[in-house]
Chain A
């Protein structure tokens, strides 16, 4: 096969693969910038995928049908924010260990979404979902048009959220507060910043974005729900935040690298290259581990108080 065509196929497939992890990782970045890492990201994605699917599924026959997808997305954002709020309550207010609480939230989201789905729906059913929207003119540019401008609208949203979250973090008062409470909460406190409130806000925003990422999987990518739909992407998102060193642009790079590896291994199977597919499937995950292990440690610009609960009266 022509290598140009092969590259084209790999890249066209990589972009939709990157959307869910990109959305979730951009959200997780807000959490971590504020000093809280949320391993429950994966569970929130499960719940987002579930709610995002259920609303259009139930409204399918009714008068609200045209708004099903939008309501699904709104529901996913809402349930994500609510789970972020729950996580904030446990880790910020009660100061519970973030790692353990995150694993708990992951299991909660995963188990609850699967159980509710079996209870209300069961089996394999689909929805129409959100359809691809090629951008007029731009999508007809040879090569680039297909790679960049022939996707689901949520893909465009996800990519626009990269500069948007950069702007939010670095150019707005709220971003300044988030970065301060994640690095030196006591300094922020002495400057009159409400550390607890800022961390709550960041966790709710991060949760909402993870919910949206889940809804992308069920509404735009698979157009169905099953309890292994998310398949650990939430954990990949957490890894991407470290990989991208807490910068939205770095996270985008990581998301693309991972999804190119993913789409490459799928393409390899399609092309019939004789390589045990079990190993091919591992490729993107192995890549993440290798890159994380080799990455130069530059904590200087990251949230140095990551993982530590803040208590004003604590002495040392």
Chain B
């Protein structure tokens, strides 16, 4: 890290190939990125993007192919080697030690601060202040990581990487855990920083790619299938190249006739993890055969609402009437048996048991039913048949239904959950961030499934931060703010601007004022 080499101005990859047992993760990939340039690397989950970046960082060794920095061939064995040549990476899952401060996290990597029996923690803090001022990325060096919001942690990662001397930044899906506000903020900061750095930006959100990058390369099945200048191509075109076919996210055409009332939530009050009232007199009405979108800045009670509807959180007061039956404070089992389906926010820890096979995850809610067990023995043949049917019906890509579910990609895990919930024939479905962090192909599939079941009369509560998603799918949109539904409006009347104003907590008049260029709400309502 102390090497006095000339700063990196160009990175070139030639014919990089990497095999894992049974998979060709990278197949002769050649790429190039220069200073002052943002290269977007786009591809579906499992296309080989992250493997390629781990090769650049020296975490994996390529089977063949070469890396060149400023035209000179390099061989990285550890991330330290890559940093020594000015290449740094911000990983999708943050590489920060939560019980240490920001300065301590940086000090881990800055070997010049390591003295015998003494750690120059002030030096680390000084370095952080310098870099955070220079790039306008405010961070407090003395804060503990666990105290910071996801957006702040993202900033810490950027500052840390820059402090370590990186002049070529690799950002692996940096926005996947951010709220829309934090995403806009990050994109803006990156645009400012781009002139003096080289950036490789990995994403499958094409609007971000469009907003930030100069050039775009598309990976499919481990190979580069497209290189081009971003300005010349529309997102739809890139999406088609990425998935190998035309992608048009389906829309709710609004032809459904709203059915009888299914679920009505009355004056619901619920406490959050810190004991404060997070839902404070919330009212909600869902009819059969409609999708009710719940939009809002995260932290306004969405998680608690979903938890409560699934029976995972105690109700302080109020009612949850489901076909006339009050489900408030009922056990999850009773709620499941009443016909409520649930697609939870955190698919890895709440949606599935990661170490269980796909077929076992399919029967998590029904293992004791007549269909899957007899005299308290599992009926394996029936379980296999059921699993094969769902695997085919939901296009779940896994080697077999005996594979551990945690080893699948995010999109496929989400399909497993959705398949389980829909196969049970629910009357109502609560779906929380159903497409967060998953690629276009899977997203398209999940959206059309939701619309399909809406047509079949299922009532769906869709909680999401993606305004596009909410607006595309919903019949009505309820805006949640500080634990209350601020307003419910028909989807046809909703615009991005109008929802943005409502999400910021301003009750609009029926004719909204002229919106600002990017009228997303300020982060003022975020409690996290």
Query: Which of A's residues lie within 8 Å of B, judged by CB?
Result: 171-173, 175-177, 179-180, 183-184, 186-193, 300-302, 304, 312, 315-316
A133 to chain B, nearest CB (A): 27
Q: Which of B83, B89, B118 contacts A192 (CB 8 A)?
A: B83
Q: How far is the CA of A177 from the CA of B146 in the complex (A)?
A: 18
Give per-residue flags for B324-357: 1 if the beta carbon is below 8 A from chain A beta carbons, else 0: 0000000000000000000000000000001000
Contact: A190 with B79, CB < 8 Å?
yes
Q: How far is the CA of A312 from the CA of B59 in the complex (A)?
A: 8
Q: Which of A171, A173, A179, A312 contacts B97 (CB 8 A)?
A: A179
Q: Which of A180, A184, A192, A301 contacts B78 (CB 8 A)?
A: A192
Inter-chain contacts of A177 with B (CB < 8 A): 108
Q: Which of B95, B99, B115 contacts A302 (CB 8 A)?
A: B99
**Can you report 22 residue pairs joining A to B where beta carbons are below 8 Å apart?**
A173-B119, A176-B104, A177-B108, A179-B99, A179-B100, A180-B97, A180-B108, A184-B95, A184-B96, A187-B108, A188-B108, A190-B57, A190-B59, A191-B95, A191-B109, A191-B164, A192-B80, A192-B83, A192-B111, A304-B99, A315-B407, A316-B354
List the count of A-B residue pairs having beta carbons below 8 Å apart.
Answer: 74
> If A171-B118, A173-B115, A176-B108 touch, does A190 touch B95 (CB 8 Å cutoff)?
yes
Contact: B111 with A184, CB < 8 Å?
no
B114 to chain A, nearest CB (A): 4
Inter-chain contacts of B164 with A (CB < 8 A): 191
Inter-chain contacts of B91 with A (CB < 8 A): 190
Q: How far is the CA of A176 from the CA of B146 in the complex (A)?
A: 17
Contact: B97 with A188, CB < 8 Å?
yes
B161 to chain A, nearest CB (A): 10
Contact: A187 with B99, CB < 8 Å?
no
Inter-chain contacts of B198 with A (CB < 8 A): none
Contact: A183 with B99, CB < 8 Å?
yes
Contact: A193 with B108, CB < 8 Å?
yes
A247 to chain B, nearest CB (A): 12
Inter-chain contacts of B113 with A (CB < 8 A): 173
A316 to chain B, nearest CB (A): 5
Q: How far is the CA of A302 from the CA of B97 in the complex (A)?
A: 11
Contact: A192 with B99, CB < 8 Å?
no
Contact: A192 with B97, CB < 8 Å?
no
The 9 closest A-B pairs by CB, nearest first: A192-B80, A173-B114, A191-B109, A187-B95, A191-B108, A184-B97, A190-B95, A316-B406, A173-B119
The interface on chain B, measured as residues whose beta carbon lies within 8 A of the other chain's beta carbons, has a size of: 33
Query: Which of B's residues lie within 8 Å of A, judged by CB?
Result: 1, 57, 59, 78-80, 83, 89, 91, 94-100, 104-105, 107-109, 111, 113-115, 117-119, 146, 164, 354, 406-407
Q: How far is the CA of A187 from the CA of B161 in the complex (A)?
A: 12
Contact: A304 with B98, CB < 8 Å?
yes
Inter-chain contacts of B79 with A (CB < 8 A): 189-192
Q: Which residue of B lies closest to A313 (CB)?
A: B60
Q: How far is the CA of A189 from the CA of B109 in the complex (A)?
A: 10
Q: How far is the CA of A186 from the CA of B57 in the complex (A)?
A: 14
Q: How far is the CA of A301 from the CA of B101 in the complex (A)?
A: 11
Contact: B80 with A180, CB < 8 Å?
no
Inter-chain contacts of A190 with B (CB < 8 A): 57, 59, 79, 89, 91, 95
- Quick one: which of A183, A184, A301 has the most chain B CB within 10 A? A184
Q: How far is the CA of A176 from the CA of B103 in the complex (A)?
A: 11
Inter-chain contacts of B78 with A (CB < 8 A): 192
Q: How far is the CA of A304 from the CA of B100 in the complex (A)?
A: 12
Q: How far is the CA of A207 from the CA of B55 in the complex (A)?
A: 37
Q: Which residue of B lies closest to A181 (CB)?
A: B97
Inter-chain contacts of B115 with A (CB < 8 A): 173
Q: How far is the CA of A312 from the CA of B77 in the complex (A)?
A: 13
Q: Which residue of A lies closest to B57 (CB)?
A: A190
Q: How far is the CA of A177 from the CA of B119 in the complex (A)?
A: 11
> If A176-B104, A190-B79, A312-B59 touch, does A300 touch B99 (CB 8 Å cutoff)?
yes
Inter-chain contacts of B94 with A (CB < 8 A): 187
Contact: B407 with A316, CB < 8 Å?
yes
Contact: B118 with A187, CB < 8 Å?
no
Contacts A188-B97, A191-B109, A316-B407 aside, 13 further interface pairs with beta carbons under 8 A come to: A171-B119, A173-B113, A173-B119, A179-B100, A180-B108, A183-B97, A184-B98, A187-B96, A190-B79, A191-B105, A192-B79, A192-B109, A192-B111
Q: How far is the CA of A1 from the CA of B114 in the complex (A)?
A: 57
Q: How far is the CA of A175 from the CA of B119 in the complex (A)?
A: 9
B528 to chain A, nearest CB (A): 16
Q: Which residue of B lies closest to A180 (CB)?
A: B97
Inter-chain contacts of A315 with B (CB < 8 A): 407
Q: Which residue of A lies closest to B84 (CB)?
A: A192
- Quick one: which of A179, A193, A300, A316 has the most chain B CB within 10 A? A316
Q: How far is the CA of A190 from the CA of B100 in the complex (A)?
A: 16
Q: How far is the CA of A264 from the CA of B416 in the complex (A)?
A: 60
B143 to chain A, nearest CB (A): 14
Q: Which residue of B lies closest to A301 (CB)?
A: B99
Q: Which residue of A lies closest to B91 (CB)?
A: A190
> If A188-B108, A316-B406 touch, does A176 touch B59 (CB 8 Å cutoff)?
no
Inter-chain contacts of B80 with A (CB < 8 A): 192
Contact: B97 with A187, CB < 8 Å?
yes
Q: How far is the CA of A300 from the CA of B96 in the complex (A)?
A: 14
Q: Which residue of A lies closest to B106 (CB)?
A: A191
B41 to chain A, nearest CB (A): 19
Inter-chain contacts of A192 with B (CB < 8 A): 1, 78-80, 83, 109, 111
Q: How far is the CA of A222 from the CA of B79 in the complex (A)?
A: 52
Contact: B109 with A183, CB < 8 Å?
no
Inter-chain contacts of A191 with B (CB < 8 A): 79, 95, 105, 108-109, 164
